Amino acid sequence: MSSNPTQNPNANFNYSNAQWKQQLNIPAKDTRPQTEDVTVTKGNEFEDYFLKRELLMGIFEAGFERPSPIQEEAIPIALTGRDILARAKNGTGKTAAFVIPALEKINTQKPKIQALLLVPTRELALQTSQVCKTLGKHMGIQVMVSTGGTNLKEDILRLADTVHVIVGTPGRVLDLASRGIADLSDCPTYVLDEADKLLSPEFAPVVEQLIDFLPKDRQIMLFSATFPMLVKNFKDKFLVKPYEINLMDELTLRGVTQYYVFVEERQKVHCLNTLFSKLQINQSIIFCSSVSRVELLARKITQLGYSCFYSHAKMLQQNRNRVFHDFRNGICRNLVCTDLLTRGIDIQAVNVVINFDFPKNAETYLHRIGRSGRFGHLGLAINLITYEDRFLLYKIEQELGTEIQPIPPTIDKRLYVAPSALDEDQSQKPDIEAAQSIQRIQDSFQRPNNGPRHNNPHHNHQGGYPNQHHQHQHPHQHQHQGNDHRGPRQHYNQNPHHNNGNYGYNNQQRHHNNNPNYHGNQGNRQPQNNNRNNNQPEPGLKAAS
């Protein structure tokens, strides 16, 4: 199956069996420890699959050494042309598991679209297309990204030239196919990445319509971490004797340590500030529940002196792309976002995920915390839990079969920091000037007409809070100890002061009872008046209207 390497003018290598691999530009070996999610393999090598040498060159130059478990299971089956239903954890190599066989089957002498890779978000489309280009850089394969929110005319002009692989979102690809601009009649490979999302009611009709444009002898491959009943219905309708792969003996990544902090809403920002000062964060992703809370929190983080980007669906696509690109390249440490970035986004430098707003369901939680601990490496997930979140936390633990522990006074760095960096002091230090320079870059972005604007009279340009609630206070002012009222599980109430003053509150500065908001030890608790020593509202993010 090896092709003649001299056909590719960009590959000037000595191709003798003894020397071709030695002449590759292989990156330095990643020495970080890895978990069993990616290390427990059958011992196969990429050469065992008889891939084209040009493809092998791209694989090794991308830093791949041996196939991960999902790649071992999927690649040989995909190469036979059989339909696949694959379930594996986030961050274990799913993208390469379908990109490698898709590229292997491309005939570059044929100027036709031969692989269609669908993803649910624009950011994931950009990332997946980059994987295709990186692995196929010696093959002469032409890859195109096609997503909504970009200029349709540019896509039309691009398709006038040769395109072998389209990576895109369903709506835009269907638009191009329906107009006869994207000819999918010779496209035998159809991949749905994050299939559970693509087969949700939002996307499923479009995904199914696209099948009508494909040849009858197509191959359909579905990849995801979760497979609800919607996926089964699609499988029964469209897949022919699919090969099913399930590597989900447990749902959460083994390398991600999970903690919760019990806080009140108005003290979340202070808690986040404490986490920044205590944790050795390489890069972090912080999730909020709404667009407005994302922007407000990003501005507050900047006020505290930490560099921060934010991203959400109401930003212009070109600006979302820039944020994603700059964050991936390490321009700043922190990214605040909505669930826009929960799907498939792979930034290996992220070692901490913080749920500033706790998610409503287990699926979202699973995808959020999967942004850390990528490809078997170590990561940390910290959840800020309010009184109202306590039953959600218990429910998600039950559904995922995991246990989220109360945060200890000190977190062992070995749980989320590479051994080579353990002796380094990489905790974040406030730098107002640097943080404001990042904020000015983000503020220069132009928003769509329907996007949030900070010239809204209800927004304070300085602090990012509604004016009527903003208090000019030091971030450590008005602190008090929080108590644990999570509910159903017995140990939740055994240690009401488990935060030990490190991540929650300090009650010495407030005239409160020991338990400032909730009284009694029974399960049915009602909020009580705070008996504050002043009538001013506390600082904190206001919920989105």
pLDDT > 70? residue 423: no
Of 449 and 323, the one with more pLDDT? 323
Radius of gyration of the chain (CA): 25
Domain 25-246 sits in CATH 3.40.50.300: yes
Domain residues of the chain, as ranges? 25-246, 256-465
Q: What is the mean pLDDT of residues 234-254?
A: 80
Residue in the block written with tokens 């040009």: 54
Superfamily holding 256-465: P-loop containing nucleotide triphosphate hydrolases (3.40.50.300)
Of the listed ranges 7-21, 99-113, 295-309, 345-359, the one predicted with least confidence: 7-21
Query: What tokens does 485 get?
Result: 């009222």
Q: What is the pLDDT of residues 111-135, one digit of tens each?
A: 999 999 999 988 889 989 999 999 9
- Identify which of 177-186, 220-229, 276-285, 408-417 has the greatest average pLDDT: 177-186
Q: Which of these ranges, 180-189, 221-230, 420-429, 529-538, has the smallest mean pLDDT?
A: 529-538
Strand-pairing partners, residue 86, are 223, 245
Secondary structure string (H, E, C) spanning 420-466: HHCCCCCCCCCCHHHHHHHHHHHHCCCCCCCCCCCCCCCECCCCCCE
The pTM of this model reads: 0.57
Q: Do you know the residue count of the chain?
A: 545
How confident is the prediction for the chain on average, in pLDDT? 76
- Report the pLDDT value the prediction gives residue 34, as an integer from 0 to 100: 55
What pLDDT band is residue 63 in, cutting at 50, 70 and 90?
Answer: confident
Widest pairwise Cα distance in the chain: 81
* Least confident range of 38-52, 240-254, 430-444: 430-444
Q: What is the mean pLDDT of residues 300-327?
A: 87
Give the per-residue pLDDT at 252. 52
Output the pLDDT for position 136. Answer: 96
Taking residues 327-350, report their average pLDDT: 79
132 compared with 496, residue with greater pLDDT: 132
Identical fold at 25-246 and 256-465?
A: yes
Over residues 472-484, the pLDDT tens digits come to: 333 333 333 333 3
Arithmetic mean of pLDDT, 372-395: 83
The pLDDT, as a whole number, for residue 434 is 66
The number of CA neighbours under 13 Å toward the Cβ of 5 is: 19
